[in-house]
Amino acid sequence: MSSDSLLPPRVLAVASHVVSGNVGNKVAVFVLQSLGFDVAALNTVQFSNHTGYRQWTGTRATAQEITDLYNGLKQSYLDDFDMMLTGYIPGAEGVTAVGTIAKGLKEKFQNSPGKFFWVLDPVMGDNGKLYVAPEVVPAYKALLPYADLILPNQFEAEQLSDVKIVDMDSLTEAIQVLHDKFNIPHIIITSVSFTTPGHPPSHLTVIGSTMTSDRKARPFKIVFPSIDCYFCGTGDMFGALITSRIREAANAVPGLSSRASWLSDDDVAATDLPLARAAEKVLASMHQVLANTRDAMPEVMERTWALLRPEDRNDETKAHYVKSKAAELQLVTNLDSLRTPSISFSATKI
């Protein structure tokens, strides 16, 4: 880590690109740049808009194209990355190609512990359903031992751990399996669908853990009020923010950032982990951005309806497009929320 340098840290962000709206790299690149990263953006698709609209145009990059782009960076010495963040990748071959990039970077910096850190968001599905081909699951499993931090949602954690998650006990079991079996240092389960005991259903829970030297989980949870809207791109915003904040939190602990995977001493309690500090800050930013997005929705909807004919308001399909557009994350008007969130949520023990 070049924390003594005035130069921005370099991150490779691999995810989808949409022309209009905010998901994938369209979120990650801006958020990381706003937080001071020099971002190399490798776009795995270019679509007109996100697929939640139910219609879109555009093209996917093949695994070969992804590999070619990366080889292009390598040949000109542009592969000196401090971090890597990977999101949606189309198909198992693409996942494997991106994994090869990450493995290469791990190997390149193997003599500089802590220099390189990979944040892997294993985008596969949600709410009990895969939205990628079944062979993507084993492709991700094969890469897990190389990741420093993974960000599955509850369903993805089930797919990777083969533990059915129904409550907090089975969730912590799944985390323990992921630490044990794949040697993954840091894990955050970004959304859980069961109700957390002691909290009303209007709250959401994020669970995190950094393993000890003998791969024991140190789980913490952060509970925060949910905003009752369906947003896309929240996972991508989480990934970009945690990439920045985990680095900041590791840098705040003397010596930690030059230790492999920024693994805390065994006597650090779950709620004192840098990962907990990082996640707290991420959720504060996200809550503010989502609240502001919700507040802007009526104006965005009215502006869009003005482009249509009055009778279109009764057309459910068109209403879906108008609503999808209004639910796009408001990012550029929320720089302060991203950089210096003013609210806070606290990690607690499980």
Q: Using CB under 8 A, which of 48, 110, 344, 348 touches its own copies?
A: 48
Q: Which amino acid is at 135?
A: E
Q: What is the nearest approach in angstroms of its own copies to the Cβ of residue 141?
A: 27
* Number of amino acids touching its own copies (CB under 8 A): 61
CA–CA distance, 240 with 25 (Å, rounded to integer): 9
Task: Select from 54-62, 135-143, 203-211, 268-276 the region that touches its own copies (CB under 8 A).
Answer: 54-62
Q: Is 324 in the site for its own copies (CB under 8 A)?
A: yes
Burial zone of 151 (CB within 10 Å; 0-12 exposed, 13-18 middle, 19+ buried): buried
Q: Is 69 in the site for its own copies (CB under 8 A)?
A: yes
Task: Select from 149-157, 216-224, 269-277, 317-325 the region that touches its own copies (CB under 8 A).
Answer: 317-325
For 84, how many CA atoms within 13 A lie in the half-sphere containing its CB?
27
Q: Is 178 in the site for its own copies (CB under 8 A)?
A: no
CA–CA distance, 77 with 152 (Å, rounded to integer): 32
For the segment 258-297, give every residue that binds its own copies (CB under 8 A): 296
67 CB-near residues (< 8 Å, 6+ apart): 97, 100, 101
CA–CA distance, 91 with 95 (Å, rounded to integer): 6
Site string for its own copies, 295-314 (x = CB under 8 A): -x--xx--xx--xx------
For 265, how many CA atoms within 13 A lie in the half-sphere containing its CB?
6
Task: Select from 31-39, 189-197, 218-226, 234-242 the region that touches its own copies (CB under 8 A).
Answer: 31-39
Site string for its own copies, 212-231 (x = CB under 8 A): --------------------
Q: Is 58 in the site for its own copies (CB under 8 A)?
A: yes
Q: Is 47 in the site for its own copies (CB under 8 A)?
A: yes
Q: What is the CA radius of gyration of the chain?
A: 20
Q: Is 340 in the site for its own copies (CB under 8 A)?
A: no
Q: Is 65 in the site for its own copies (CB under 8 A)?
A: yes
SS3 annotation, 126-148? ECCEECCCCCHHHHHHHHHHHCC
Distances (CA, A) of 115 to 179, 242, 243, 258: 21, 17, 14, 7
Distances (CA, A) of 74 to 28, 101, 230, 314: 22, 10, 40, 54
* Residues that bind its own copies in the complex, under the rule CB under 8 A: 2, 5-8, 17, 19-21, 26, 29-30, 33-34, 36-43, 46-49, 53, 55-59, 61, 65, 68-73, 75-78, 80, 296, 299-300, 303-304, 307-308, 318, 321-322, 324-325, 330-333
